């Protein structure tokens, strides 16, 4: 998935612990094979290759993930959209070769294919159809959270009472540490990503962060985030990082980027409408905004 996964489990001995970790790794690899766009025969690529041509029957697991993704698109009014894969990589590559932004007109032309409403699902035969030729879906905004959640569920089935699965900053933690205390999670400082600006004690929760320090480009001394607004095709501005706390890693992962796209006021308003969902936002001036019921230490 292009990310580092760090797995921690509590077990009675090292051998059992390693066996459990290997189970979780196998599950994460299985999900990668299912969702990747880097293997020609993946179900994601089959859907993309048949865009505008015909529906493709997929595993119920993939169908259900796409269905949940469309649900998140609806509640975020399109700020989350798995058809973002339609953006041409030549438009946004965020590498050293990128010395200027695309003009607004070119960017708008590129995003015309991004529209979750053109992803047609048929539950009878678990098929997915992308209405427009050239449309592409990708699971970059939800896949690693989904993998972390599925690995956690597998470990729970195998009686692993506590652990952490950390997918490059999107993590879920359950149970307690061996000393009986909750897990302590650091919230990254966007200016010094290796340091934390705050800590939370959590158990049976998931945390996901989307920040402009992860992947960005600097043009004329201004930093542009890799988070693209699907409506304009241009990078978002004004927000350094969004941290989401939820009970499910998939949902936490999926909500981090759209809240950044929606902006502080609309984003926090939405978060406060959804039970058991919390948010911390840091703006470009290092001002911290939080949803209701968050107490930072």
- Residue 49 Cα distances to 12, 30, 131, 172, angstroms: 48, 21, 12, 34
Among 33-37, 215-219, 252-256, name the most confident range.
252-256
- Taking residues 220-234, report their average pLDDT: 75
Query: What was the pLDDT predicted at 100?
Result: 72
Which residue is listed with tokens 């200027």? Answer: 100
Task: Go through the chain and tell me how many residues it has.
Answer: 297
Query: What was the pLDDT predicted at 179?
Result: 94
Collapsing DSSP to helix, strand or coil, 162 comes out as coil
Q: What is the pTM of this model?
A: 0.91
Per residue in 177-216, pLDDT (tens digit) is 999 999 998 887 878 877 888 888 999 999 999 877 666 6
Query: What was the pLDDT predicted at 214?
Result: 64
Could you write out the DSSP letters of every residue in 259-271? HHHH-HHHHHHHH
Which tokens sit at 71? Answer: 């649900």
Which tokens sit at 268? Answer: 């926090």
d(CA 277, CA 211): 18
- Taking residues 244-253, report their average pLDDT: 96
Per residue in 10-27, pLDDT (tens digit) is 999 999 999 999 999 999
Q: Dmax over Cα atoms in the chain, in whole Å? A: 60
Query: What was the pLDDT predicted at 131?
Result: 97
Give the bridge partners for 129, in sequence order. 120
The more confidently predicted of residues 173 and 1 is 173
Per residue in 130-179, pLDDT (tens digit) is 999 999 999 989 999 999 999 999 999 999 999 999 998 889 999 999 99
d(CA 260, CA 267): 7
- Taking residues 206-231, report their average pLDDT: 76
Which tokens sit at 111? Answer: 């995003």
Question: Quick one: 178 exposed, middle or buried, by C-beta within 10 A (0-12, 13-18, 19+)?
Answer: exposed
Residue-wise burial string across 190-216, b where 16 or more C-beta atoms lie within 10 A, e elsewhere: beeeeeebeebebeebbbbbbbbbbee
Per residue in 46-93, pLDDT (tens digit) is 999 999 999 999 999 999 999 999 999 999 999 999 998 777 555 655
- Taking residues 207-235, report their average pLDDT: 76
- Taking residues 17-43, report their average pLDDT: 94
d(CA 164, CA 1): 18
- Taking residues 233-243, report their average pLDDT: 86
Which tokens sit at 189? Answer: 């400082």
Query: What was the pLDDT predicted at 258?
Result: 95
d(CA 31, CA 174): 21
Residue 94 pLDDT > 60, yes or no?
no
CB 205 within 8 A of CB 245: yes
Angle at 254 between CA 21 and CA 77, to 5 degrees: 170
d(CA 229, CA 46): 26
Q: Given pLDDT bands bounded at 50, 70 and 90, which one contains residue 267? A: very high
Query: What was the pLDDT predicted at 143?
Result: 95
Query: What was the pLDDT predicted at 228?
Result: 80
């Amino acid at each position: 998935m292009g990310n580092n996964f760090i797995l921690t489990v509590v077990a009675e001995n090292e051998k059992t612990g390693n066996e459990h970790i290997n189970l979780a790794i196998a599950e994460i690899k299985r999900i990668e094979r299912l969702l990747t766009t880097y293997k020609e025969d993946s179900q994601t690529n089959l859907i993309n290759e048949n865009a505008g041509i015909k529906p493709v029957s997929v595993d119920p697991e993939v169908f259900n993930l796409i269905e949940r993704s469309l649900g998140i698109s609806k509640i975020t009014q399109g700020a989350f959209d798995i058809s973002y894969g339609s953006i041409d990589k030549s438009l946004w590559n965020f590498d050293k070769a990128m010395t200027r932004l695309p003009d607004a007109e070119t960017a708008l032309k590129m995003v015309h294919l991004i529209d979750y409403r053109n992803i047609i699902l048929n539950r009878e035969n678990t098929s997915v159809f992308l209405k427009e030729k050239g449309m592409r879906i990708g699971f970059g905004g939800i896949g690693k959270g989904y993998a972390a959640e599925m690995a956690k569920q597998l470990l729970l089935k195998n009686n692993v009472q506590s652990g952490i699965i950390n997918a490059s900053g999107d993590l879920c933690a359950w149970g307690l540490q061996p000393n009986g205390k909750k897990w302590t999670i650091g919230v990254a400082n966007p200016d010094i990503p290796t340091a934390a600006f705050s800590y939370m004690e959590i158990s049976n929760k998931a945390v996901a962060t989307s920040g402009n320090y992860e992947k960005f480009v600097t043009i004329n001394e201004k930093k542009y985030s890799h988070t693209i607004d699907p409506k304009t095709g241009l990078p978002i501005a004004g927000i350094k990082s969004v941290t989401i706390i939820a009970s499910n890693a998939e949902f936490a992962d999926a909500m981090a980027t759209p809240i950044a796209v929606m902006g502080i006021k609309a984003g926090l308003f939405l978060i406060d409408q959804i039970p058991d969902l919390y948010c911390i936002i840091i703006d470009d001036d290092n001002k911290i905004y939080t949803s209701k019921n968050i107490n930072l230490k």
